[in-house]
Amino acid sequence: MSSVREVNPRVRGIRAPTSLQSVAARITEEIRQGAKKPFKKVIDISAGDPHSAGMAPISFVRQLLAVCLYPELLKEQSLPVDVRQRAQKLLGACGGGSVGSYSTTSRGIPHVQQSVAEFIMKRDDGVTSHPENIILSSGCQKNLSLILHLMASGEGETQTGVLTPMPCPHTLPMLLDMSGVTLVPYQLIEDQGWALDLDELHQALKKAKGHCKPRAIYISNPGNPTGHVQDRKTIQEVIHFAATEGLVLLAEEVYQDSVYGQDKEFISYKKVLFEMEKKYSETVELISFHSVSSACMGECGLRGAYMEVINLDPAVNEYLRNMQATSSPPVLPQLCLEVMVNPPSAGDPSYETYTKEILHIQTTLAQNAQRACELLNDLPGMSCQPAMAGVFLYARLHLPPRMREEAKALGMEADVFYCQRLLEEEGLCLGVGCENGQEDQNYHVRLCVLAPPATLEEVLACLRSFHLRLLDRFS
């Protein structure tokens, strides 16, 4: 199997030598057993899990799921009437009127598929969306894995390759590897706010020659973990590139509800595609992904997601349907997804509360991102591009030579060494840059900023203290 290093030897290994999550679990267990530490608990801000960080769930979502799980609550007058009405409607759409029944089709509950299609049409100013092109599943990774296994073929020079941004979502490299697909890296431009550069795409294709056969390009917009938001011109260029090179477009758009950068807006790849000439809009194969793990919903544990397939060969569509038939998607995540795409409307009893809760999440995220970015850029030996969207900041470490040498002597990357020391001394667990596929000469850390402001302040204070102490130690 071709490796990432064979395609681009500058790219570091995709897994940290020591799992920081394992270290965090060990420390947590030691605290539970009474061990004395300079902190009371481990705070994990490596993953985009806002509920784990202390953010409250959306009331309407939890009320609805409670009623659907226990229909006796349909009689509970203390619950808003629109919660009970929606629950009754969704239970009626479930097989046997129960969330304990299988989904009525292999692609999901038709009522939810219809709601997703209507959401997409509203989002994209009327661009047609067909429910039969919506596939529901237990998370974006499940959908992406389905597509990758369908595309995977060949060995050596003929093995399927996927152009993948560097940095990329930290779970993506392993998913590609498990699917038997070669990762073909293209570098995002850090000093331009992690923008996508067309020349990098052409360079990636050139380097892939003789190692694999690129058949798709993966796009994360808004960027994960970079927070970059692509403009219309960039999206058009990528679509033209994909058409010219015969590549399938895989567009992960999970953070579309969390754009806060000044003068920035989310534009879907589908919307731009359908505004282009027919030679593009009717031929470019596009698969887009969205999830209830998004910033505002934050329901990471429910693992609910959809993908919309555009311009795929009918035979491929049928094959996807048959592959899904072996395992129908779980019901509760679909109901949560239905709320995400079809929230309470103006005039509904729950509308005001729902709107306030969403606004609180968006405001907290925007203010936290600005606050954290300012502090990181004030630290010597650290720099951070401002995020425009999403829940992560992706900061660069400029580490002293002595520290890099000690990390090397211990057989680990310098950013892994940094994060492990931070975890052991302060109880903070950050994401490490080598998980995101960065290059050898640069070191980065990833932190989720969607947390209660008080928690974020505690995190930043600990991070600042540790960072200055470490630089002093190795200066």
Q: How far does CA 253 lie from the centroid of its chain? A: 8
337 and 191 together in one domain: yes
Range of the domain at 396: 4-55+355-474
Mean pLDDT of 116-129: 98
Write down the pLDDT at residue 211: 94
260 and 145 together in one domain: yes
Residue 84 counted as domain residue: no
336 and 425 together in one domain: no
Residue 88 counted as domain residue: no
Residue 63 counted as domain residue: no
289 and 361 together in one domain: no
447 and 309 together in one domain: no
180 and 329 together in one domain: yes
Please tell me the pTM assigned to this model. Answer: 0.93
Please give the Cα distance from 226 to 443 (Å, whole number).
14
230 and 176 together in one domain: yes
269 and 199 together in one domain: yes
Structure confidence by residue, pLDDT tens digits, 272-297: 999 999 999 999 999 999 999 998 99
Q: Which of 285, 317, 341 is the last residue of a domain?
A: 341
Residue 95 counted as domain residue: no
47 and 128 together in one domain: no
Q: How many CB atoms lie within 10 A of CB 316?
A: 15
Determine contact, residues 120/308, Cβ cutoff 8 Å: yes
Residue 235 counted as domain residue: yes
Residue 90 counted as domain residue: no
219 - beta bridge partners? 251
Domain count within the chain: 2
Write down the pLDDT at residue 19: 83
314 and 182 together in one domain: yes
Query: Would you place residue 304 in the very low, low, confident or very high pLDDT band (cuts 50, 70, 90)?
Result: very high
Please give the Cα distance from 119 to 115 (Å, whole number).
6
148 and 296 together in one domain: yes
Residue 281 counted as domain residue: yes
Residue 213 counted as domain residue: yes
What is the DSSP track for 136-191?
Answer: EES-HHHHHHHHHHHH---SGGGSEEEEEEES--TTHHHHHHHTT-EEEEEE-BGG
Which contiguous run of DSSP H or E holds residue 351? Answer: helix 351-378
Please give the Cα distance from 179 to 216 (Å, whole number).
14
Q: Which of 275, 310, 341 is the last residue of a domain?
A: 341
CATH number at residue 466: 3.90.1150.10
Query: Any idea which of 237-251, 319-333, 365-379 has the lowest mean pLDDT?
Result: 319-333
Structure confidence by residue, pLDDT tens digits, 160-188: 999 999 999 999 999 999 999 999 999 99
Write down the pLDDT at residue 1: 36
CATH number at residue 204: 3.40.640.10
308 and 175 together in one domain: yes
Q: Which of 297, 312, 341 is the last residue of a domain?
A: 341
